[in-house]
């Protein structure tokens, strides 16, 4: 077994892979900047030694066989410079996953701008419930497993399910991560422009997906969103079998007669025009029906029967921060947290909440944090995606110093556009040193009994969820 050093071990995926390789018998160490719970606790619970802060002495002490370089690590990092100077073997996390975890297993790779974590978690659960003991790597914590990564139960002949991110791999490898996972079954859930820090246009995003399609072997399968014209265009050049999933009757896998009740959905599943039974799933919103269809199709192509899949779906548990219901107060104020950070994700998340909580007012707290939403690229789209919300709280733009004022998201213009739609809008963080307490103060005056309070961010939002829980949900 190898001695492996994770440079940037505090990332969710990096830490999850580190733990999986520990269980496989490898000696794991690593380093990162100051680590806090839950990742520090996660590493401690699995007895992984890590260094706080970067230093040449860390690598000298660990003396690893290889160094895994996280994609947040750049030239100038003292440990990276030491590793380069001393010719240590550098690998990327996707390379390590392919070689050490996927191996000779059938590789199922879930891609798309939205829905990857939920779809990957659901596929892993369907295979687990079906007795296939899959390996998996999820960019979150799937509640059915409580860990984000594990090896397959088989050295070969098994299955490994990977959340395939289109983000780049490392400072020395600018390919999308999903290109490293050797897909046998690839899911393309949707394709939109995102990650403006590494892609300059939708055409560049599409180029990465075209490369993915070209990697699937002729005896493999591509499962594509039949309601997404861009995804269909990309999949049309495949050399393998292609099946569509969607809400339209033309797709090979389709959902009809969808109903939603008590944070769950049911629908009739059709495969190639034939009714295959009713699916019950503890998810809601049409986008989650799409996620479910893609997962069912992938699981079926592993050999699981549709009957076995139907038995498993009601037992699925949503990943953390994916439409997670945090709690409901005595005033019937329900707090929901979701990872939504792209205008389309915001739109479908709020529509799903509107569908579930009919007749209740929706109050939304949104943090412009991603490398795309902090710029003015989606200025217009962000003014159009909050439709179901009556009240919009706009958090501070994350690290605005990265861009010139004319390139940054203009929250004042956004406020004006949303107010013209009749919404109440609050811009947080305008007073230095009073953030996010200013949000709490605003909501104390604004919230009404029965409101649904949605926190949308791909980051910590300055610990807002916990502050809201203490201020409103526990009272």
Tell me which residue of 320, 271, 295, 237 sits closest to 112, measured CA to CA: 295
The CATH code of domain 3-88 reads 3.40.50.720
Mean pLDDT to the nearest integer, 279-286: 90
Question: How far from the centroid of its chain's Cα atoms is residue 371's Cα?
Answer: 15
Residue 298 has pLDDT above 90, yes or no: yes
* Whether the Cβ atoms of residue 200 and residue 163 lie closer than 8 Å to each other: no
pLDDT above 70 covers what percent of the chain? Answer: 99
Helix (H) or strand (E) holding 385: none
Q: What is the pLDDT, as a whole number, of residue 196?
A: 67
Question: How far from the centroid of its chain's Cα atoms is residue 359's Cα?
Answer: 29
Residue 214 has pLDDT above 90, yes or no: yes
Mean pLDDT to the nearest integer, 3-12: 93
Residue with tokens 């139960």: 153
Mean pLDDT to the nearest integer, 417-443: 91
Task: Answer with the residue of higher pLDDT: 307 or 39.
Answer: 307
Query: What is the value of pTM for the model shown?
Result: 0.86
Task: Answer with the residue of higher pLDDT: 233 or 470.
Answer: 233
Sign of CA dihedral 378, 379, 381, 387: positive
Q: Please state which of the ranges 21-25, 153-157, 376-380, 390-394 shows the lowest mean pLDDT.
A: 153-157
Residues near 255 by beta carbon (within 8 Å), at least 6 away in sequence: 247, 267, 268, 269, 270, 279, 289, 292, 293
The CATH class of the 324-473 domain is alpha beta
* Whether the Cβ atoms of residue 30 and residue 93 lie closer than 8 Å to each other: no
Mean pLDDT to the nearest integer, 27-47: 87
On average, the pLDDT of the chain sits at: 91
Residue 84 has pLDDT above 70, yes or no: yes
Task: Answer with the residue of higher pLDDT: 418 or 263.
Answer: 418
| pLDDT tier for residue 271 given thresholds of 50, 70 and 90 | very high
* Whether the Cβ atoms of residue 50 and residue 150 lie closer than 8 Å to each other: no
Helix (H) or strand (E) holding 115: none
Residue 350 has pLDDT above 90, yes or no: yes
Q: What is the pLDDT, as a whole number, of residue 164?
A: 95
Task: Answer with the residue of higher pLDDT: 358 or 182.
Answer: 182
Query: Could you name the CATH architecture of 95-315?
Result: 3-Layer(aba) Sandwich (3.40)
- The rounded distance, in Å, linking the Cα atoms of 5 and 104 is 24
How many other C-beta atoms can be found within 10 angstroms of the C-beta atom of residue 183? 27
Q: How far apart are the first and last CA of the chain?
A: 52
Helix (H) or strand (E) holding 325: strand 324-328
What is the number of alpha carbons within 13 Å of residue 156 lying toward its C-beta? 3
Sign of CA dihedral 373, 379, 385, 389: positive
Q: Please state which of the ranges 6-15, 230-239, 397-406 shows the lowest mean pLDDT.
A: 397-406
Q: What is the pLDDT, as a whole number, of residue 228?
A: 94
Task: Answer with the residue of higher pLDDT: 336 or 407.
Answer: 336
- The rounded distance, in Å, linking the Cα atoms of 284 and 460 is 24
Tell me which residue of 339, 374, 350, 377 sits closest to 205, measured CA to CA: 377
Same fold for the domain at 3-88 and the one at 95-315? Answer: no
Q: At what angle do helices 286-300 and 116-129 cross, to 10 degrees?
A: 40
pLDDT above 90 covers what percent of the chain? Answer: 63
DSSP secondary structure of 395-454:
PPPSSGGGS-GGGB--HHHHHHHHHHTT-EEEE---STT-TTHHHHHHHHHH--TT-EEE
Q: What is the pLDDT, as a whole number, of residue 322?
A: 75
Using only C-alpha atoms, the chain has a radius of gyration, in whole angstroms, of: 22
Domain spans of the chain, in order of start: 3-88, 95-315, 324-473
Q: What is the pLDDT, as a whole number, of residue 328?
A: 86
Exposure string of 13-24, with b = 16+ CB inside 10 Å and e = fewer, is bbbbbbbbbbee
Residue 239 has pLDDT above 90, yes or no: yes
Per-residue model confidence as pLDDT tens digits over 152-203:
977 678 999 999 998 899 999 999 999 999 999 999 998 987 776 777 888 9
């Amino acid at each position: 077994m190898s001695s492996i050093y994770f440079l940037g071990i505090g990332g969710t995926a990096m830490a999850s892979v580190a733990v999986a390789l520990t269980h496989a018998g490898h000696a794991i160490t690593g380093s990162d900047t100051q680590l806090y719970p839950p990742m520090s606790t996660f590493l401690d619970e699995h007895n992984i030694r890590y260094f706080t802060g970067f230093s040449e002495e860390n690598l000298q002490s660990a003396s690893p066989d290889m160094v895994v370089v996280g994609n947040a690590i750049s030239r100038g990092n003292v440990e990276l410079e030491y590793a380069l100077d001393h010719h240590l073997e550098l690998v990327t996390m996707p390379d390590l996953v392919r070689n050490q975890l996927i191996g000779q297993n059938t590789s199922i790779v879930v891609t798309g701008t939205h829905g990857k974590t939920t779809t990957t978690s659901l596929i892993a659960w369907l295979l687990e419930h079906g007795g296939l003991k899959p390996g998996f790597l999820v960019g979150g914590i799937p509640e059915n497993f409580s860990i984000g990564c594990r090896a397959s139960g088989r050295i070969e002949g098994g299955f490994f399910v990977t959340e395939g991110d289109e983000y780049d791999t490392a400072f020395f490898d600018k390919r999308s991560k999903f290109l490293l996972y050797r897909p046998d079954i690839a899911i393309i859930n949707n394709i939109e422009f995102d990650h403006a820090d590494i892609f300059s246009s939708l055409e560049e995003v599409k180029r990465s997906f075209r490369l993915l399609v070209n990697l699937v072997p002729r005896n493999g399968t591509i499962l594509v969103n039949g309601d997404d014209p861009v995804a269909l265009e990309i999949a049309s050049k495949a050399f393998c079998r292609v099946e569509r999933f969607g809400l339209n009757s033309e797709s090979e896998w389709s959902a009809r007669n969808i109903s939603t009740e008590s944070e769950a959905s049911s629908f009739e599943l059709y495969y190639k025009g034939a009714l295959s039974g009713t699916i019950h799933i503890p998810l809601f919103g049409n986008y989650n029906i799409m996620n479910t269809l893609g997962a069912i199709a992938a699981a079926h192509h592993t050999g699981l029967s549709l009957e076995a899949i139907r038995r498993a779906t009601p037992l699925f548990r949503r990943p953390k921060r994916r439409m997670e219901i945090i709690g409901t107060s005595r005033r019937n104020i329900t707090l929901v947290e979701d990872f939504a950070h792209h205008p389309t994700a915001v739109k479908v998340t709020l529509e799903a909440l509107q569908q579930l909580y009919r007749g209740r007012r929706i109050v939304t707290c949104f943090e412009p944090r991603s490398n795309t939403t902090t710029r003015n690229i989606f200025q217009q789209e962000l003014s159009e995606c909050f439709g179901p919300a009556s009240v919009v709280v706009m958090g501070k733009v994350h690290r605005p110093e990265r861009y010139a004022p004319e390139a940054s998201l203009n929250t004042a213009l956004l406020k004006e556009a949303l107010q013209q739609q009749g919404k109440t809008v609050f811009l947080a963080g305008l007073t230095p040193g009073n953030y996010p307490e200013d949000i709490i103060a605003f909501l104390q005056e604004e919230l009404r009994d029965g409101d649904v309070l949605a926190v949308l961010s791909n980051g910590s939002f300055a610990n807002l969820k916990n502050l809201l829980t203490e201020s409103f949900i526990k009272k």
